[in-house]
Amino acid sequence: MAHGNEQMDVLDEKSSTEVGNKMKRIGMILLTSMMILSLGACAGGNESAGNGSNAESAQNSAVQPRASEESKTSEESKVSEESKTSEESEMPESAQDQNAAETPSETEAESRQPSETANEPADSIASSPEQEPEGSKILVAYFSATNNTEGVAQKLADGLGADLYEITPEQPYTDEDLDYGNSGSRSSAEMDDPSARPAISGSVENMEQYDVIFIGYPNWWASIPMPIASFLEEYDFSGKTIIPFCSHGGGRFGQSLTAITKLAPDAVMGEPLSIHYSGGSSLPDDIAAWLETNSIK
């Protein structure tokens, strides 16, 4: 009985030892599993942090080229704008005016018509004079072939109480002379010759006494008739004020103002007046406004 009990104690001790060993192995397995899980979590966290850092770095890298590109574009735009501004400042301001002044006449016949008609004009080149002092002596000089200009000149002289002088060629113009359709007519030949200077009958007595000279003429071939050229070359207009008035059939001044300026370069050019044929019913008002513009009372 005692021997049986001893065997039972040995078996119990052996069983207890095996159970303890199994528990130790289970504990080791659990501890190992926890360590593996912990290491995996740490590795995952590091990878996530690494990925976040890489993404941020990539984003910064993408932003930098974009900012660089925007800076480059801004610099190129600034350089282009400065270059454009520089080019515009070097452009001549008178280019447009020069092109307008060189515009040709609308038709051949209209530009060659001496009967107080002509082509479309260039813009007026005259500048308004300063107000004339009281007591200025005024002369109204005119050339008229068909009486349109003469009627205006007479109204002007009467209204101002000015002296009146008709520019009369020694050889008067006939109807045949004024035939613009005939290239061999006298007027055609004169206008084709820039040096033509028809002789004038009579002269202005004591031209020195006049401060203001109104000069009237019809528009021939988009310019002044040659008797006007003869008149301008005969006297010294230095320091005097010349105020042109021109009768026309649609061409206004043509290039006549330029011609006057060249022939009397030392005169002051007043504001001119263009008159359609004889002026019509509005002529008195037109003259009044014109005189006011030139400060003539």
Distances (CA, A) of 274 to 59, 166, 284: 76, 19, 13
What is the model's pLDDT at position 129?
A: 44
What is the model's pLDDT at position 67?
A: 41
What is the model's pLDDT at position 297?
A: 83
User: Which tens digit of pLDDT belongs to each residue from 107-118?
Assistant: 333 345 444 433
Residue 91 pLDDT exceeds 90: no
What is the model's pLDDT at position 132?
A: 47
Name the pLDDT band for 136 (thresholds 50, 70, 90). Answer: confident
Q: Out of 3.40.190.10, 3.30.420.280, 1.20.1050.40, 3.40.50.360, which CATH number does the structure's domain 109-293 have?
A: 3.40.50.360
Residue 296 pLDDT exceeds 70: yes
Angle, CA 241 vertex, CA 201 and CA 200 arms, to 5°: 10
Name the pLDDT band for 134 (thresholds 50, 70, 90). Answer: low
Residue 2 pLDDT exceeds 50: no
User: Which tens digit of pLDDT belongs to each residue from 198-222?
Assistant: 999 999 999 999 999 999 999 999 9
Query: What's the mean pLDDT in 142-171?
Result: 96
Percent of the chain predicted with pLDDT > 90: 51
140: left (phi over 0), alpha (psi -120 to 50) or beta: beta
Name the pLDDT band for 80 (thresholds 50, 70, 90). Answer: very low
Asked if 111 contacts 119 with a C-beta cutoff of 8 angstroms, the reply is yes
